[in-house]
Amino acid sequence: MHDFDWSSIPNALPFLWDGMKISLEITLSAVVFGIVWGTLLALMRLSSVTPLSWFAAGYVNLFRAVPLVMVLLWFFLIVPHLLESIFGFPRGSDMRLSSAIAGFALFEAAYYSEIIRAGIQSVPKGQMAAASALGMTYGQAMRLVVLPQAFRNMVPLLLTQGIILFQDTSLVYVSALADFFGAAYKVGDRDGRLVELLLFAGAVYFVICFTASRIVRYYQNKLKTA
C-alpha cells in the first residue's frame, strides 16, 4: 500500500492557481467565441441560402466527427507553422495559449451551434410570423423576437456545455501548456508525488464541476416553474 505524503501541495498552491487561471481563461474565451460563432453557424444552417447552410452543416459535421485531441494537435503542430509561413511571424514564437483558445473555440462552436439551432427551432413559428406581420425584417425578427426567447430556454444547456468545456481544457496537456492539470502533473513529477497530486487534481475538478452542475440544475428548475 502506498504511503501518502501530501506535504508538497501547500507550497505548490500559487503555481497550481496560476494553472487554474489558464484553464479558466481558455474556458471563458472559448465559451464566448464559441457561442458567437455557434450562433452564426446556427443561423447559416437555418438560412434559405443553400451554400451557407451547406457550409454550416459541413463545418458542424466535420468538427463533431473528429476527436478534440486531434483538433488540438492540428492547432498546436500545424496551424502555427501555417501562420508563420503565411504572415511571416517570427519562427518559434509561443502561440500555444492563443492556439489552444482558437482550437477550443472553433471546436466547441460546432457543439454550441447544434444547441442554438434546436433552441431557435423550439420557438413557436407564430412568433416569426407575427414579427413579419408587424413589418419587421428577417434580421430584426431574429434579433428582437426569436433569439432572446431561444437563448432564455438554452441557458442551462449552454452552461452545461461550458462545464464540459472546462473539463476538456485539461487536454491542453498535449501541448505541455501548464493549465491546472498540467501544473499538478509537473509538481507531482518534480516531487515524486504523482499519486497525491493526481488525486488532488481529480478532487478539485470534481468539486468545481459538481457544484457548477448543481447550480445549473437549480437554475433550470427555477426556469421551469417560472
By beta-carbon proximity to another protein, the closer residue of 57 and 68 is 68
Does 85 contact another protein by CB under 8 A?
A: yes
Smallest gap from residue 2 Cβ to another protein (A): 4
Residue with cell 446556427: 42
Contact 46, 113 (CB under 8 A): no
Give the x-and-dash track for 162-201 against another protein (CB under 8 A).
Answer: -----xx-xx-xx------x---x--------xx--xx-x
Binding mask 127-166 for another protein (x = CB under 8 A): ----------------------------------------
Q: In the set 77, 133, 134, 176, which binds another protein (CB under 8 A)? A: 77
* Binding flag, residue 73, another protein (CB under 8 A): yes
Largest CA distance in the chain: 74
Write out the binding residues for another protein, residues 28-57 only, by CB under 8 A.
none
**101, 26 contact by CB (below 8 A):** yes
Q: Residues 15, 74, 111, 138: which binds another protein (CB under 8 A)?
A: 74
- In terms of CB distance, is 33 or 75 closer to another protein? 75
Nearer to another protein, 86 or 226 (CB): 86
* Alpha carbon 99 to chain centroid, angstroms: 14
- Applying CB under 8 A, among 54, 89, 206, 219 the residue interacting with another protein is 206
| Interface residue list for another protein (CB under 8 A) | 1-2, 62, 65-70, 73-74, 77-78, 81-82, 85-86, 167-168, 170-171, 173-174, 181, 185, 194-195, 198-199, 201-202, 205-206, 209-210, 213
